[in-house]
């Protein structure tokens, strides 16, 4: 770590520190944005899945309600345009179901179930619509129109056989005729005349065929004329002849005509038949078809027992038979419609609960997912706070470490400078050889200054000791004093020799530095970095200073003219 730090300049070290702090805060910001993006993605999923499910479910429910409303309108009004509306809403409904199937897996399963139910509903509705078309969408079409035409024809013909009032009126005439013959009272004659007038009016206003009307009116005219003659004769002569005469024959012929066209209560029974038919069409009660069948059987019996012509019997019976057959076919169609309607209702009734179940699932899943998102968001917030705290702590640690790496050497150099100014420093600033740090360079320079100062002081002290030893040797008068001076001189020379050896080692060290720098320059194609140039400069200056120290040492020898002598010889010379 110390070697790596020494390779960096102060600016690079500060930049690295700020860069590391910036990386930490970038990581914090990235984590915050990652958390925010994750939360946004989760809420987008909520909107894209659960809200879409709820929205599509609501649209499906609306379309289903609209289809059912159009279906009810068709069943009430029986118009083709409502069939088109049902189809339109069902197509829109299927489109919404297809969109629901693309949301997620659960929605796909729900959509498959909905498609099956809608297919059943659609098939049942088509069957109901076809059955109503077969029955007849109005009273003039289909089976309904067919049996309605027949019953109308039967009703029209029944009016031709509705002679009960005429027959009753004719019987009233005959009774008053008999009363007149018995009592010869003019009041009965007037009563007969009144009844004849009423009978004529009834014949003229009846629904009988025109030919039958003319026959009856002709016979009625014969009866009225002959009865008048008979009554006048009876009142005058008093002879009634047993109540016989032409008028009696005319009355019997009218009775025969009425008998030939009388089916008792035919029109009334036909109206009862129509009534029960309408009751069934209105209410759909299964008891009414049986009533229609019973009334039809009764009418057939009346027709068979009547005295009308065989051709008329066949015509009336055929119309009644066709009516009954068509009506029973209509009843069977109504049964099919009822069955298909139940199937249709069952399918439609399952659609809405399935849709609501899908909405409930979406709500439950949304609530659960919202809880998960809230939990994960809170956890992310806690993690962000932890990361932020760690980033701040690491930033403080980096700042302290970087500052310490700068401040501690500076503080040490300040102490050494104080020692250098006011005393003799003994310590050194820790440095790393080859370091690029300015503080390291300052430490190396300060260490070199302290070393040079120590060398010069040591050299100066050794020289002073040598001078003092020579002086003592020169001033010695006794052999013991001379020996002691020689010993001091010898110690001083050994100290100087040691300093010379130290200078030699320093020169070798600086020489090796210059050799290393030159090798690096050759290896890098002759390019010399600023650090290498500064190293060469410092080494050269240090060598120059050491050479000056050597030159100062050899100066006394040069001035004396010759090679330096041993200490004993110099002492002797002095």
pLDDT higher for 174 or 423? Answer: 174
Residue 66 pLDDT: 92
pLDDT level of residue 224 (50, 70, 90 thresholds)? very high
Distance CA 18, CA 402 (A): 10
Q: Is 78 left (phi over 0), alpha (psi -120 to 50) or beta?
A: left
Distance CA 359, CA 51 (A): 9
Using CA atoms of 115, 121, 126, 128 in order, give the dihedral in degrees to the nearest 10.
170
Residue 567 pLDDT: 36
Residue that the structure tokens 């600033």 belong to: 429
* 194, pLDDT greater than 90: yes
* pLDDT > 90 in the chain, percent: 9
pLDDT tens per residue across span 92-112: 989 988 988 888 888 888 888
The tokens describing 564, both together, are 């330096």
Phi and psi (nearest 5°) for 436? Answer: -100, -5
pLDDT, mean over the chain: 78
Residue 390 pLDDT: 83
Helix (H) or strand (E) holding 77: helix 52-77
Convert 98-138 into a string of H (helix), E (strand) and C (coil).
HHHHCCCHHHHHHHHHHHHHHHHHHHHHHHHHHHHHHHCCC
pLDDT tens per residue across span 53-73: 778 888 888 988 999 899 989
Distance CA 43, CA 275 (A): 67
Phi and psi (nearest 5°) for 386? Answer: -65, -45
Residue 276 pLDDT: 87
Helices (H), 240-309: 246-260, 266-283, 287-305
Nearest to 135 by CA among 293, 338, 373: 338
* 313, pLDDT greater than 70: yes
pLDDT level of residue 570 (50, 70, 90 thresholds)? very low
pLDDT level of residue 201 (50, 70, 90 thresholds)? very high
- Direct distance between the N- and C-terminal alpha carbons of the chain, in angstroms, rounded to an integer: 60
Residue 193 pLDDT: 92
Q: Which residues have C-beta within 8 Å of that of residue 150, sequence separation ≥ 6?
A: 319, 320, 322, 323, 326
Question: What are the angstrom distances between the C-alpha of 362 and each of 41, 56, 114, 376?
Answer: 18, 11, 16, 20
Whether 227 and 177 have beta carbons less than 8 Å apart is answered as yes
Provide the CA 140 distance to its chain's centre, in angstroms. Answer: 52
Convert 181-207 into a string of H (helix), E (strand) and C (coil).
HHHCCHHHHHHHHHHHHHHHHHHHHCC
Residue 574 pLDDT: 26
Across 117-131, 277-291, 362-376, 516-530, the highest mean pLDDT is recorded for 117-131
Residue 151 pLDDT: 81
**C-alpha angle 233/237/239, rounded to 5°?**
80
* 456, pLDDT greater than 80: no
Q: Helix or strand or coil: residue 571?
A: helix
pLDDT level of residue 221 (50, 70, 90 thresholds)? very high
Residue 28 pLDDT: 72
Whether 144 and 135 have beta carbons less than 8 Å apart is answered as yes
Provide the CA 288 distance to its chain's centre, in angstroms. Answer: 54
Helix (H) or strand (E) holding 361: helix 310-422
How much is the average pLDDT of 243-267? 82
Across 155-164, 331-340, 377-386, the highest mean pLDDT is recorded for 331-340
Exposed/middle/buried for residue 171 (C-beta within 10 Å: 0-12, 13-18, 19+): middle
Residue 559 pLDDT: 42
pLDDT tens per residue across span 477-530: 788 887 887 888 788 778 777 777 777 777 777 677 777 767 777 766 666 666
């Amino acid at each position: 770590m110390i070697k790596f730090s020494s390779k960096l300049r102060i600016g690079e070290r500060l930049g690295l520190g700020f860069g590391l702090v910036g990386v930490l805060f970038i990581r914090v910001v990235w984590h915050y944005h990652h958390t925010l993006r994750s939360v946004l993605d989760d809420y987008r999923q909520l909107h894209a899945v659960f809200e879409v499910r709820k929205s599509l479910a609501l649209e499906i429910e609306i379309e289903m309600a609209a289809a059912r409303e159009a279906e009810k309108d068709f069943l009430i009004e029986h118009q083709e345009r409502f069939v088109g509306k049902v189809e339109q809403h069902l197509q829109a409904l299927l489109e919404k179901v297809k969109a629901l199937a693309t949301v997620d897996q659960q929605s796909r399963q729900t959509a498959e179930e909905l498609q099956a139910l809608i297919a059943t509903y659609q098939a049942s509705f088509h069957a109901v619509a076809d059955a109503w078309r077969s029955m007849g969408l109005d009273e003039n079409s289909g089976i309904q129109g067919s049996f309605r035409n027949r019953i109308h024809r039967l009703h029209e013909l029944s009016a031709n056989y509705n002679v009960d009032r005429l027959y009753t009126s004719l019987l009233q005439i005959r009774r008053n005729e008999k009363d007149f013959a018995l009592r010869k009272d003019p009041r009965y004659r007037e009563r007969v005349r009144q009844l004849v007038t009423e009978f004529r009016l009834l014949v003229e206003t009846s629904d009988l065929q025109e030919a039958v009307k003319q026959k009856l009116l002709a016979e009625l005219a014969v009866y009225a004329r002959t009865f008048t003659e008979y009554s006048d004769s009876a009142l005058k002569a008093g002879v009634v002849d047993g109540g016989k005469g032409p008028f009696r024959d005319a009355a019997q012929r009218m009775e025969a005509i009425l008998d030939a066209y009388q089916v008792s209560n035919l029109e009334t029974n036909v109206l009862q038949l129509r009534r029960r038919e309408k009751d069934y069409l209105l209410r759909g009660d299964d008891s009414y078809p049986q009533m229609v069948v019973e009334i039809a059987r009764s009418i057939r019996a009346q027709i068979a027992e009547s005295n009308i012509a065989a051709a008329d019997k066949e015509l009336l019976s055929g119309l009644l038979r066709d009516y009954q057959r068509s009506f029973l076919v209509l009843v069977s169609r109504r049964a099919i419609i009822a069955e298909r309607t139940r199937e249709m209702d069952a399918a439609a009734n399952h659609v809405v609960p399935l849709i609501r179940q899908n909405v409930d699932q979406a709500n439950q899943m949304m609530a659960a997912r919202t809880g998960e998102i809230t939990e994960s968001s809170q956890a992310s917030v806690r993690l962000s706070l932890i990361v932020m705290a760690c980033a701040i702590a690491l930033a403080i640690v980096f700042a302290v470490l970087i500052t310490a790496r700068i401040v501690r050497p500076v503080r040490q150099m300040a102490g050494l400078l104080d020692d250098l100014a006011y005393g003799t420093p003994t310590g050194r600033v820790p440095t790393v050889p080859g370091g690029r740090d300015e503080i390291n360079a300052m430490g190396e320079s300060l260490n070199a200054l302290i070393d040079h100062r120590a060398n010069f002081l040591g050299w100066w002290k050794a020289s002073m000791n040598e001078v003092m030893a020579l002086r003592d040797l020169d001033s010695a008068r006794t052999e013991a004093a001379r020996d002691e001076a020689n010993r001091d001189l010898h110690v001083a020379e050994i100290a100087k020799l040691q300093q010379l050896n130290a200078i030699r080692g320093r020169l070798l060290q600086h020489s090796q530095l210059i050799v290393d720098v030159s090798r690096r320059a050759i290896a890098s194609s002759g390019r010399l970095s600023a650090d290498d140039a500064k190293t060469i400069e410092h080494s050269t200056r240090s060598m120059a200073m050491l050479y000056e120290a050597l030159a100062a040492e050899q100066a006394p020898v040069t001035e004396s003219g010759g090679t330096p002598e041993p200490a004993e010889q110099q002492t002797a010379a002095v």
